[in-house]
Amino acid sequence: MIEKFAGFFDPSIVKDKVHIIGCGAIGSTLAIQLTRCGLTDITLWDFDIVSPHNLANQQYWNAQIGLPKTTALSDLMKAINPHIKIDVKEGYIDEQLSGYIFMAVDNIDVRKQIVKSNMYNQSVKAVFDFRMRLKDAQHYGANWNIKEDKDNLLKTMDFTQEEADAATPVNACGMTMSIIPTVETVVAVGVGNFINYLHDPATLRKFIMVNPFDY
């Protein structure tokens, strides 16, 4: 599989664990993209199950409705690479992590908890955060060896979940609106930022805004 991009990116340079916290729209798409990039050691964090409405903007299939998202996503990843190593965990509380953290949860309080619990954790290399509305999304990157990066990432979370909910579009049924082009665009940008960081940490972009409907 990696012959397709040999000479551009060698996934064997990723020596540390990769954590994807949240396996919804962003997290499931991250998992598929990173698997196709050749990564072979990924931990998935989620406690939810696949629901019918998830099929619109997440990577799951109709036949997977009712399965735990970590189980369904593991099956999809192994269908791409049967040799991949996947660990599954339930929702994050205050665990000490290591390696690379991809935050794809839909709750700002959980994001804050991840950052605060690992603020002085020297086993973490970098943190990549994703936030999304209907048509626009934000991606943040932080080199965990740089205190300013960590502090600045935490400062971007200086709002409540209630404030985040108020700014998020919902449909007539009160369901959060989300569309797959926005998901896949911000994930692609984040994975690109991760690969650039691996090649040269100095190239890490701290903030990127995307809107696939306005270009």
Q: What is the pLDDT of residue 174?
A: 64
Residue 31, beta-bridge partner list: none
Q: What is the pLDDT of residue 24?
A: 97
Q: Which residue would you say has higher pLDDT here, 101 or 215?
A: 101
Average pLDDT value for the chain: 93
Residue 170, beta-bridge partner list: 176
Question: Strand, coil or helix: what is 102?
Answer: strand
User: What percentage of residues in the chain have a pLDDT greater than 70?
Assistant: 93
pLDDT digits (tens, 9 = 90+) for 171-194: 666 667 789 999 999 999 999 999
Q: What is the pLDDT of residue 7?
A: 86
Question: Please, which residues have CB within 8 angstroms of residue 130's CB and are 6 or more apart in sequence?
Answer: 26, 30, 102, 103, 104, 137, 138, 139, 140, 186, 187, 190
Q: What is the pLDDT of residue 2?
A: 65
Q: What is the pLDDT of residue 6?
A: 78
Q: How far apart are CA 158 and CA 113, in angstroms?
A: 13
Q: What is the pLDDT of residue 170?
A: 67
pLDDT digits (tens, 9 = 90+) for 1-55: 667 887 899 999 999 999 999 999 999 999 999 999 999 999 999 999 999 999 9
Q: What is the mean pLDDT of residues 164-170?
A: 68
